[in-house]
């Protein structure tokens, strides 16, 4: 025990020394990241401001997102055909923000399925996602007034291995022929294999991801695709909660800032061609301000 305490003390002392060394060598604030900190603060203030505006009754409109509207249609079709709805929350863990966005959509899918008395099957590639998805689906069934219809065995772990997971899903899709396949989360090379298999069995397919390289595959093979920020807006769109809708407005403000910076950069780059003395300002803008 004394040995353990001594080791702990030594470890703590080592960590403190390392932290002090880091602070000495780089200072309290990483100055290279100061402009980014400014942008982050602007973004936080904009989002918090619009959340408070929305909470105090300010009206916020969100354009219709066809992919999310189609979810109800897909679940309804599955009910009519007596087949299941397959929901795939991507292949990453809950530490990935896309997985969390996917779980939010799952909540809506599960609630609709509970109302229609349809079966939602959620095979997952990460155990923590399985636990989270089970909690979410159970809550959704409870909210729909059908807690008895919840079956935790429909949300299960397959494997962490990317292509092992794909092989299982493809086989299951061909054998069980789900009427609707919904892919919401982080995907890599498996996106096209899944979407093409779903297409070959004639399922309605809705996909959403923030992986730019996988978007063309989903667009080509699925009926509806939520592209990047639409996927992240799904949570606010589906919940219709003023606080969440307010965050979308704050996000739009940050987008205006981004547009402004792009416009300023383009203007400076063009002006530098005619007025060489502006080169310093351009270098500061691209090198320091934008990192």
Partner 1 sequence: MMKRTIPMLLAMAAGIVMILAYFFPPLTPLQDKTTVWFNILAAVAFILGGGNLLKVHLKKVSDRREGWAYSMITLAAFVGVLAIGLFKIGVNPLDEFPDQRMAGDFRAEGSGFWYVYEYVFAPLTATIFSMLAFYVASAAFRAFRAKNLEAILLLGTAFVILLGRTAAGVFLTDFLPEEGMLANFRLENLTVWIMNNPVTAGNRAIMIGIALGTASVSLKILLGVDRSYLGGGD
**What's the rounded Cα separation, in Å, for the pair 268 and 286?**
10
In angstroms, give the least distance from the CB of 277 to partner 1: 28
Residue 137, SS3?
helix
Query: For residue 181, which of 139, 228, 120, 138 has the smallest C-alpha distance?
Result: 120
**What's the rounded Cα separation, in Å, for the pair 12 and 6?**
10
Nearer Cβ to partner 1, position 72 or 230? 230
In angstroms, give the least distance from the CB of 28 to partner 1: 6
In angstroms, give the least distance from the CB of 280 to partner 1: 26
**What's the rounded Cα separation, in Å, for the pair 225 and 126?**
24
Residue 173, SS3?
helix
Nearer Cβ to partner 1, position 121 or 278? 121
**What's the rounded Cα separation, in Å, for the pair 141 and 133?**
12
Please provide the size of the chain in residues: 291
Distances from the Cα of 28 to the Cα of 14, 44, 246, angstroms: 19, 21, 33
**Contact present, 187 and 222 (Cβ < 8 Å):** no
Nearer Cβ to partner 1, position 72 or 139? 139
In angstroms, give the least distance from the CB of 179 to partner 1: 17
In angstroms, give the least distance from the CB of 185 to partner 1: 13
Nearer Cβ to partner 1, position 48 or 275? 48
Nearer Cβ to partner 1, position 275 or 286? 286
Nearer Cβ to partner 1, position 79 or 247? 247
In this structure, the number of other CB atoms found within 10 A of the CB of residue 170 comes to 19
Nearer Cβ to partner 1, position 168 or 278? 168
In angstroms, give the least distance from the CB of 4 to partner 1: 19
- Beta carbons within 8 Å of 36's beta carbon, 6+ residues apart: 291
Which residue reads 């089970």 in tokens? 134
In angstroms, give the least distance from the CB of 55 to partner 1: 10
């Amino acid at each position: 025990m004394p040995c353990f305490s001594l080791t702990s003390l030594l470890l703590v002392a080592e960590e403190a020394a390392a932290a002090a060394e880091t602070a000495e060598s780089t200072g309290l604030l990483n100055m290279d990241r100061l402009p980014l900190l400014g942008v982050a603060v602007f973004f936080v203030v904009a989002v918090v401001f619009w959340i408070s505006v929305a909470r105090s009754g300010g009206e916020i409109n969100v354009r219709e997102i066809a992919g999310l509207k189609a979810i109800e249609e897909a679940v309804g079709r599955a009910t009519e055909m007596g087949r299941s709805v397959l929901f795939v929350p991507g292949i990453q863990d809950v530490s990935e923000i896309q997985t969390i966005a996917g779980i939010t959509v799952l909540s809506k899918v599960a609630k609709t399925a509970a109302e229609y008395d349809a079966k939602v099957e959620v095979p997952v590639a990460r155990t923590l996602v399985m636990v989270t998805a089970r909690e979410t689906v159970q809550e959704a069934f409870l909210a729909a007034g059908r807690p008895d219809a919840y079956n935790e065995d429909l949300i299960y772990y397959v494997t962490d291995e990317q292509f092992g997971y794909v092989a299982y899903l493809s086989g299951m899709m061909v054998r069980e022929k789900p009427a609707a396949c919904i892919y919401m989360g982080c995907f890599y090379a498996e996106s096209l294999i899944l979407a093409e298999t779903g297409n070959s069995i004639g399922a309605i397919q809705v996909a959403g991801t923030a992986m730019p390289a996988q978007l063309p595959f989903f667009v080509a093979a699925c009926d509806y695709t939520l592209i990047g920020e639409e996927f992240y807006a799904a949570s606010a769109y589906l919940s219709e909660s003023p606080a969440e809708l307010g965050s979308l407005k704050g996000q739009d403000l940050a987008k205006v800032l981004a547009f402004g910076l792009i416009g300023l950069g383009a203007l400076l780059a063009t002006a530098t061609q005619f007025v060489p003395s502006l080169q310093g300002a351009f270098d500061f803008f691209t090198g320091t301000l934008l990192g």
